[in-house]
Amino acid sequence: MLNCLKSQFLLVSGSPPNPCDNPIGDHYLLKSIKNKIDYCRLHGIEIVYNMAHLDKDLSGYWSKLPLIRRLMLSHPEIEWIWWMDSDALFTDMVFEIPVSKYENHNLVIHGYPDLLEKKSWIALNTGSVLFRNCQWTLDLMDTWAPMGPKGPTRNEAGKVVTAFLSGRPSFEADDQSALIYLLISQKDVWMNKVFVENSYYLHGFWTGLVDKYEEMVEKYHPGLGDERWPFVTHFVGCKPCGSYADYPVEKCLKSMERAFNFADNQVLKLYGFRHRGLLSPNIKRMRNETTTPLVYVDQFDIRHGGSKS
């Protein structure tokens, strides 16, 4: 069943067309897209990486909306458009989206219903989200996007969502806060088709995860997708491509390196290698396959259901 449905996903990510403000940011963008390509290759998912501004007014975080809309209309054969921020990494290379679970829903987003009830501005996260390719989603986009044009419109929308949402600082409207505002204020219109997911980490906030990877390897195995082995680790607030961040740059970069190598070890395992440490780009041989080069393929190939040992 899943093999049939995999082709119905299109993973979409992107970054600005210009170089990062800081050169190391481009290096981590490359690692991020390599990580996504690896996951998509292993699971038979198509990927689109965009570096063009399709709408100059819907810039920054809002740029995903015109891109997703254009992809929906250009690829009617795709059932789910899966947006993933460039600062989010797959860290469980085995786990697969339980797509049959969402048969009656059109938007799948990581979050917490109790925080949504409290109108919290962090109730949902749009860094890794599934949109069904259907008229409902187009209607949502048409309602959501008018809050995003840069300038007075975005500034005024920011005032509205800040007044409405609990805990939100005063700044221009961002796509995530605007979506939360819409889903709460127009609950009867949208929420019956929204699945708020938290049984696995469609989005996993990095600060509580990156220092536990070694413990996860000792106790658990890939394929779980939850706090035991997070599906996605999302570096919210790090902004590796920008000139400022909400966290110390060194901490962010070291943590991103750990996440990338943690995921990369799951890919390299098939070939008999692993990183010397989660902060090391260097690899070492894990096993001697000189006389039996094929014996480990079924055991460690994720595509064959392996690598859980």
Distance CA 214, CA 295 (A): 27
Name the 3-class secondary structure at 289: coil
**pLDDT at residue 5 in the model:** 41
- Band (pLDDT 50/70/90 cuts) for residue 293 is low
With b for 16 or more beta-carbon neighbours within 10 A and e for fewer, the 97-132 pattern comes to: bebeebeebbbbbbbbeebbeebbbbbbbbbbbbbb
List, in order, residues 6 or more apart from 287 with CB less than 8 Å away: 272, 296
Contact of 296 with 284, CB cutoff 8 Å: no
**pLDDT at residue 294 in the model:** 62
> Hey, where are the domains in the chain?
9-299
Distance CA 276, CA 279 (A): 8
Q: In the CATH hierarchy, which top-level class contains the domain 9-299? A: alpha beta
pLDDT tens digits, 163-173: 999 999 999 99
Q: Please state the φ and ψ torsions of residue 293, each to the nearest 5 degrees.
A: -65, -20
Distance CA 83, CA 10 (A): 8
Helix (H), strand (E) at residue 188: helix 187-190
Amino acid at the residue 158 = G
Taking phi over 0 as left and psi of -120 to 50 as alpha, with beta for the rest, 305 belongs to left
| Percentage above 90 pLDDT, the chain | 83
List, in order, residues 6 or more apart from 32 with CB less than 8 Å away: 13, 86, 87, 88, 89, 260
Question: What's 55's DSSP letter?
Answer: -
Name the 3-class secondary structure at 281: coil
- pLDDT over 60 (residue 6): no
pLDDT tens digits, 19-35: 999 889 999 999 999 99
- pLDDT over 90 (residue 305): no
Distance CA 133, CA 94 (A): 25
Q: Who wins on pLDDT, 209 or 285? A: 209
